[in-house]
Amino acid sequence: MNQSQESKSGPEKMAGFFSRHKKLSVVIFILAALTVVRLVNGQASPFVSPPNADSIYVELGRANFGTMRSLSRYYGSLSAPNRFFLSTKAAGEIKLLLVDIGDRLENGQTVAVLDDEEYVLARDRAAMNVRLSEAQLAEARANLELAESDMRRQSNLTKKSIVTQSEFEAVQNKLLQAKARVDVAESQLQSAGNQLADAQLKLSYTKITANWPQNDSVTGDYRYVGSRLVSEGQLVTANTPLYELVSIDPLLVDVSVIEKDYPKFFPGMEATLSTEAFPGQTFTAKVLRVAPVLSSDSRQARLELEVANPDLKLKPGMYADVVFVFEEHKNVWSVAEDVPFRRVDGYVIFVADPQKETVTQVPVTLGLTENGFVELVGVEKIDGPIVILGQHLLQDGHGYKEAGAIGESTSPSDGGQS
């Protein structure tokens, strides 16, 4: 008989155990079900002391009174609104570089000089051609005047029948040729003048100046050298970049905003900007443009902000932390987000009475959340400390003890002496 019992399988043993303890299992199940029902209905657990019974050890704290805000934080990089490469317009050897990285430039300032010997010779040749053409034009005009004088004389003689018709026509042809030579000389002079202007223009290109549109209120009156790309003595061709120029007052910052926040943004909206370079210091940024479309991939929209930089502290490329405030409530009470306890009919907090060592249950409605705190909507005043730990064990009027008081009466020393 013992051998047959020992040979029973594991499942058969378990079945026998539950059969012998069936009543005990039913009792335990009923107690567990009642406990769950009481917790769901906001009642204390059957294992927790009811009101007016033994005090519950809790931790107390204070509610905050001030301003609560609804905000979102986005990240981006600072950039220059006007950033371009200053290049040469002529080829040659770099003779002088007059500015370097970090220098401030005024509009029209000369920043580099190329070797101009070749361009000076070209200008002088063009000037000589102009003078030659002017002389040729003067000669042609003199010949024209002579031909016109002969024509007048021959015309009078022809009327008196002193000269023949063929002689008159010869003088007439000379006059036409003189006029044509004047036209040719004038064209040659104009061409020589254009060549001189071209030579002078190319010569001016050997002095490289920084220029940008006047009265540019968006990017300011100055530019700064962001980088230098060449060295003195270097041979360059036309359109070779020499410097990178940037404007840094004001600066721009681009951020990508999520679809949920997108309807809240509008041009002129202000935000607070901070950088890792200046911890604890904030700058005011203003929304310039809001993209009219969202990316189909990220469901985000591009937002462009402007930040004034009169002290030139901020630099393009710096990391930017941008905070937008959508809503602000002043003179409101707030507590840590884990303090309000959810009951069936809503959230409650417990206000402690240090004299009676009891708590009062206060129904609350939750509002804005910020930095781990939540607004208590409609609460006009909170007198006394609040329960910040252990509130799930309490009921209205329940007695309490501060957790820090545990063991105080049995402390062997006062003041750290052993």
Burial of 54 (0-12, 13-18, 19+ CB in 10 A): exposed
Cα–Cα–Cα angle for 75, 251, 259, rounded to 5 degrees: 35
Name the strands in the sheet holding 222-228, side by side, starting at the edge strand that comes first in the sequence: 83-87, 241-246, 222-228, 104-106
pLDDT at 96 over 90: yes
pLDDT of residue 175: 79
Reported confidence tier of residue 7, pLDDT bands at 50, 70, 90:
very low
Instruction: Over range 4-15, report the average pLDDT.
Output: 43
Per residue in 166-196, pLDDT (tens digit) is 766 677 788 788 888 889 888 999 999 999 9
pLDDT at 123 over 60: yes
Q: Which residue has the higher pLDDT, 145 or 397?
A: 397
pTM of this prediction?
0.59
Residue 214, both tokens: 């006047």
Q: Which residues contact residue 17 at a Cβ distance below 8 angstroms, ignoring those fewer than 6 apart? A: none
Reported confidence tier of residue 45, pLDDT bands at 50, 70, 90:
very low
Asked if omega into 81 is within 30° of 0 (cis), the reply is: no
pLDDT of residue 117: 92
Rounded Cα–Cα distance for residues 117 and 206 (Å): 10
pLDDT of residue 244: 93
User: Are β-strands 92-97 and 235-236 bridged in parallel, bridged antiparallel, or unpaired?
Assistant: antiparallel
> Distance from CA of residue 61 to its chain's centroid?
40
Rounded Cα–Cα distance for residues 32 and 95 (Å): 93
Reported confidence tier of residue 149, pLDDT bands at 50, 70, 90:
confident
pLDDT of residue 1: 40
Rounded Cα–Cα distance for residues 265 and 286 (Å): 11
Per residue in 63-74, pLDDT (tens digit) is 999 998 888 899
- Helix runs in 160-208, H state only: 165-204
Reported confidence tier of residue 165, pLDDT bands at 50, 70, 90:
low
Pick from 1, 192, 220, 188: which is nearest to 105 by CA? 220
Instruction: Over range 9-21, report the average pLDDT.
Output: 44
Question: Tokens 């906001």 sit at which residue?
Answer: 42
Residue 216 Cα distances to 107, 212, 305, angstroms: 11, 8, 18
Q: What is the mean pLDDT of the chain?
A: 81
pLDDT at 334 over 90: yes
pLDDT at 241 over 60: yes
Q: Write out the E strands in 29-131.
A: 56-61, 64-79, 83-87, 92-97, 104-106, 109-114
Reported confidence tier of residue 256, pLDDT bands at 50, 70, 90:
very high
Q: Which residue has the higher pLDDT, 332 or 16?
A: 332
Most confident option among 5-19, 48-62, 201-215, 338-352: 338-352
pLDDT of residue 369: 86
Query: Which backbone phi and psi does 148 adopt, to 5 degrees?
Result: -65, -40
DSSP 399: B
Residue 358, both tokens: 């009891």
Reported confidence tier of residue 2, pLDDT bands at 50, 70, 90:
very low
Question: Tokens 């190319």 sit at which residue?
Answer: 202
pLDDT at 22 over 90: no
Rounded Cα–Cα distance for residues 415 and 418 (Å): 9
What's the sign of the alpha-carbon dihedral 279, 283, 287, 288?
A: negative
pLDDT of residue 157: 64
Rounded Cα–Cα distance for residues 12 and 6 (Å): 11
pLDDT of residue 371: 86
Q: What proportion of the chain, given as a percentage, has pLDDT over 90?
A: 48
